[in-house]
Amino acid sequence: MREITATVLENARIAPDVYSLTFACGEEIPVRAGQFCMVQVHGFPLRRPIAVCKAEGERITVCYRVKGAGTHALAETYQKGEKLRVLLPLGNGFFLHGEERVAVVGGGAGVFPLIAAIREFSPTCRVFAYMGFKNRENVCMEYEMRRAEKLVIATDDGSLGYHGTAVQAMMEEVLKFKPELILTCGPLPMLRSLKAAAARLKVPVQASLEERMGCGVGACLVCVCNKTNGEHARVCKDGPVFDLSEVDLDG
Ligand SMILES: Cc1cc2nc3c(=O)[nH]c(=O)nc-3n(C[C@H](O)[C@H](O)[C@H](O)COP(=O)(O)OP(=O)(O)OC[C@H]3O[C@@H](n4cnc5c(N)ncnc54)[C@H](O)[C@@H]3O)c2cc1C
Ligand code: FES
């Protein structure tokens, strides 16, 4: 992990309230799919955690939804040429153990770390991607997802692709391609339904959790989550990727 002063190359709106930010690190920094960075926004003491979506040479791209004051300032203030303080790479990331068929199931802003997973794993295994959005207008980065062998875009209102959730879309096809592993990131209700579905299928799930964070490096304990065995884990340091069966989503 290191702290760098990056240079913004682009910070462009790609969907309503969603931006794609590319910055140059000045050197190549190896980043695994599922790892994240902490971005310092002027005027905010706490850095904001954002997953790495794409790492190409010295260029890193993250995609973020404008949620509160910090991400609003990030979208408004940082234009091409601006300097940006960033801590990266953080967290563990997704791990494959020789699986040949992997399903990727994402919802909302959770699709962005999964784009990194599609990019990293598609060359060596069969990736089937199910990506959920609110509606057609919100669909973005589709060209990156098309690297997967199969891509299903799901929308809540049916305005594009499958009418329903990404989990429902995957469940309709799961018996055809029999994934050995599912990778996921998304809102809590989605993780809950996927956890129940995967338990029935007896397929392991690696989930990237989006917990509130303070330091991002394991020191403040703001991000602690409950595990099903009664232990606790720091999402920033021990995760953000966990075996979903080991995480207590109701705690
Ligand atoms: C590992 C990880 C990866 C993430 N990757 C992405 C991504 O790729 N794209 C994306 O759009 N969002 C991502 N998020 C969520 C993103 O961090 C929050 O939306 C963002 O921090 C909100 O900041 P804010 O100042 O706009 O909102 P505010 O609500 O004003 O934030 C107040 C404080 O709460 C923290 N906070 C609020 N919501 C979250 C949240 N969901 N997760 C973590 N901290 C939060 C903020 O960092 C800040 O310290 C990720 C979160 C984590 C933990
Ligand atoms: S955010 Fe400080 S310990 Fe995880």
- Nearest ligand for residue 225 CA: 2
Ligand 1 pocket, residue 69 CB under 6 Å:
yes
Ligand 1 pocket, residue 73 CB under 6 Å:
no
Ligand 2 pocket, residue 236 CB under 6 Å:
yes
Burial of residue 231 (CB within 10 Å: 0-12, 13-18, 19+) is exposed
Q: How far is the CA of 71 from the centre of ligand 2 (A)?
A: 19
Taking the C-alpha atoms of residue 184 and residue 207, their distance in angstroms, rounded to an integer, is 5
Taking the C-alpha atoms of residue 135 and residue 17, their distance in angstroms, rounded to an integer, is 13
Which residue's CA lies nearest to atom 34 of ligand 1? 212
Taking the C-alpha atoms of residue 234 and residue 86, their distance in angstroms, rounded to an integer, is 20
* 2-15 sheet: strands from edge to edge: 48-51, 36-40, 83-90, 2-15, 18-24, 59-65, 54-56
Confidence of residue 107 (pLDDT cuts 50, 70, 90): very high
Ligand 2 pocket, residue 233 CB under 6 Å:
no
Helical H segments across the chain, by residue range: 69-77, 111-121, 142-145, 166-177, 188-201
**3-state class of 142 per DSSP?**
helix
User: 80-97, pLDDT tens digit by residue?
Assistant: 999 999 999 999 999 999
CATH architecture of 101-208: 3-Layer(aba) Sandwich (3.40)
> What are the residue ranges of CATH 3.40.50.80 in the chain?
101-208
Which residue in this structure is represented by tokens 């190409």?
A: 56
Which residue's CA lies nearest to atom 49 of ligand 1? 46
Answer yes or no: is pLDDT of 183 > 90.
yes
- Nearest ligand for residue 237 CA: 2
Confidence of residue 250 (pLDDT cuts 50, 70, 90): confident
The DSSP string of 146-208 is: TTSSEEEEEETTSSSSEES-HHHHHHHHHHHH--SEEEEE--HHHHHHHHHHHHHHT--EEEE
> What are the residue ranges of CATH 2.40.30.10 in the chain?
2-90
Q: DSSP letter for 132, please.
A: E
Give the chain's length: 251
Answer yes or no: is pLDDT of 251 > 80.
no
- Ligand 1 atom showing the smallest separation from residue 52 Cα: 8
CATH 3.40.50.1370 fits 2-90, yes or no: no
Q: How far is the CA of 237 from the centre of ligand 2 (A)?
A: 7
Which amino acid, residue 27?
E
For the chain, give the percent of residues with pLDDT over 90: 98
User: 187-236, pLDDT tens digit by residue?
Assistant: 999 999 999 999 999 999 999 999 899 999 999 999 999 999 999 999 99
